[in-house]
Each structure stands twice: as C-alpha cells, then as structure tokens.
C-alpha cells in the first residue's frame, strides 16, 4: 500500500514540469489526483492536463483533469467542488502554479505585468487555499504545500525583484496560515524547489546550455510525497529547500 493511499490531492500547474512530476509521484503512492492547470492544448511549451492525467491512468492510477485558471475565483471554486463531487474529500493541496512574467528592472516594470505576477503567484495561492480550507477544517486534517523560490530570499537573476517579492509573500503567507490552522491538524509548508530542468526551462535557455546541477522533475518532486504525509503535529510552519531533503531537513 502506498504512502498516500486513500488520499485525494489537488496539484495546480500540473500540465508539465514539477507539477506533473508531483502528480505522478502522488499517484504512484496511491493518491487520487486532480490535475489542474490552464493548459488543455500544447502551445509554445509541451504538456497538457489531459496528458498528465492519461500518464497517471496508464500506470493504473486515478486522475481527473480539471481546467483551472488559478487567477479566476469562479474557476478555483469550481476546482474544489469538482474534487468533492468526484472524491468527497481534499487531503492535499499543492499550490504549484506560478510564473516570473519576465524579469525586468523596476524602473521600467509595467503595471499590467505587476498585476499579472501578483494575481498568479500570490492571489492564486490565496484563492486555491481558501477554496480547499473549509473541507480540510471539516475533516480535521490536511496538508497544504506552497511553491516558493530561492528568489524570495536571495538575488537569483537580474531584474527578479518583483518575482522575488511575490515568492516572499508566499512564504510569509505559509507561515501565518500554518499558525491559523494548526488547531485543525492541517500542515502548511513552503518549498523552494531549486533549479529544475522543466519543459519551460528547456524552451527558455539556449541549445547547448549547461544543465549541470539542475534536477530532473521527478527527483525534485520526491520530497513532496513525504510532505504530503505530514500533519500539524509532525511537520508544519516551515520553509524548506527541496534539494536539502534528507540532509538539512526534516
């Protein structure tokens, strides 16, 4: 029996990359997975929610693809309702959907891009969490894992001020929420995944790029299985780095 047998997990941004890898590993450990993202058709970057769900089902797992724009409140509510209608519970929420919206110096950063970055990286995490919380509180159990970035605490790339700001907000949100919901046995953590060789990264970087030190998505996803098994008593209110799993933490 898998470590997540009997659990239901929602993974946002699961059409490709780290989100897809997390969804696949959760399924391999017995979870029923709601694969959520906007991507229903392959465009500039490979990967769709349907391809992820099909990959899970091909291995004998249970998956449901749900088209969801995490910046749209009605779609987010619908995502949580679809999970309840299909499986009757929500045990794990992975807020993986996010993006940099192009790095640029603050003096020339357009307001429309700031609005998009905040909506995707901060408001999206807030709304998905708010949609799943009532069910977890009723169950008196649950686990919320929010994707952050090393940019929240260090300077990673030129012009990453706005992106770093949004991820710092995610970390503070995670720590504060963990305090609020501890009494309901809900674990909340933020994870900095490190450098991951995703489909998006391969499109972004030029041919011949040196991928030394970058993780494959399935390797970067392994700590998420352990985190999804935790409770408010065992592991919560933490910001951790995925590459440090089993060395620096737990």
Sign of the torsion formed by the C-alpha atoms of 45, 49, 53 and 58: negative
The neighbour count for residue 102, using CB atoms within 10 Å, is 13
Q: What is the spatial distance between Cα 242 and Cα 219, in angstroms, rounded to a whole number?
A: 9
- 163 belongs to the catalytic site: yes
Q: What's the distance, Cα to Cα, between the start and end of the chain in Å?
A: 23
Q: What is the spatial distance between Cα 163 and Cα 130, in angstroms, rounded to a whole number?
A: 22
Q: Are 98 and 148 in contact (CB under 8 A)?
A: no
Q: Which of 101, 157, 163, 205 is catalytic?
A: 163
The DSSP secondary-structure symbol of 103 reads -
Helix axes 49-58, 17-28, angle to 10 degrees: 30
Q: Are 118 and 99 in contact (CB under 8 A)?
A: no
Q: What is the spatial distance between Cα 33 and Cα 65, in angstroms, rounded to a whole number?
A: 9
Q: What is the spatial distance between Cα 160 and Cα 249, in angstroms, rounded to a whole number?
A: 27
Q: What is the spatial distance between Cα 145 and Cα 173, in angstroms, rounded to a whole number?
A: 11
Residues marked active site are found at 163
């Amino acid at each position: 029996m898998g470590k997540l047998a009997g659990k239901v997990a929602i993974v946002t941004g699961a059409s490709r990359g780290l989100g897809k890898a997390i969804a696949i590993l959760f399924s391999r450990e017995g979870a029923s997975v709601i694969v959520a993202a906007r991507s229903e058709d392959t465009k500039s970057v490979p990967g769709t929610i349907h391809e992820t769900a099909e990959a899970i089902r091909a291995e004998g797992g249970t998956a449901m693809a749900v088209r969801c724009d995490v910046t749209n409140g009605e779609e987010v509510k619908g995502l949580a309702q679809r999970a309840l209608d299909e499986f009757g519970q929500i045990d794990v929420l992975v807020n993986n959907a996010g993006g940099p919206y192009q790095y640029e110096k603050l003096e020339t950063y357009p307001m429309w891009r700031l609005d998009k970055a905040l909506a995707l990286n901060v408001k999206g995490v807030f709304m998905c969490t708010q949609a799943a919380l009532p069910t977890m509180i009723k169950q008196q159990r649950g686990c919320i894992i929010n994707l952050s970035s090393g940019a929240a605490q260090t300077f990673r790339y030129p012009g990453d001020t706005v992106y770093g700001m949004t991820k710092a907000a995610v970390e503070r949100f995670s720590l504060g929420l963990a305090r609020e919901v501890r009494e309901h046995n809900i674990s909340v953590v933020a994870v900095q995944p490190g450098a991951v060789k995703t489909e998006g990264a391969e499109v972004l970087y030029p041919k011949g790029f040196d991928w030394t030190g970058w993780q494959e998505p399935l390797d970067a996803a392994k700590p998420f299985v352990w985190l999804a098994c935790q409770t408010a008593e065992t592991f919560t209110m933490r910001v951790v780095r995925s590459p440090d799993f089993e060395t620096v933490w737990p």
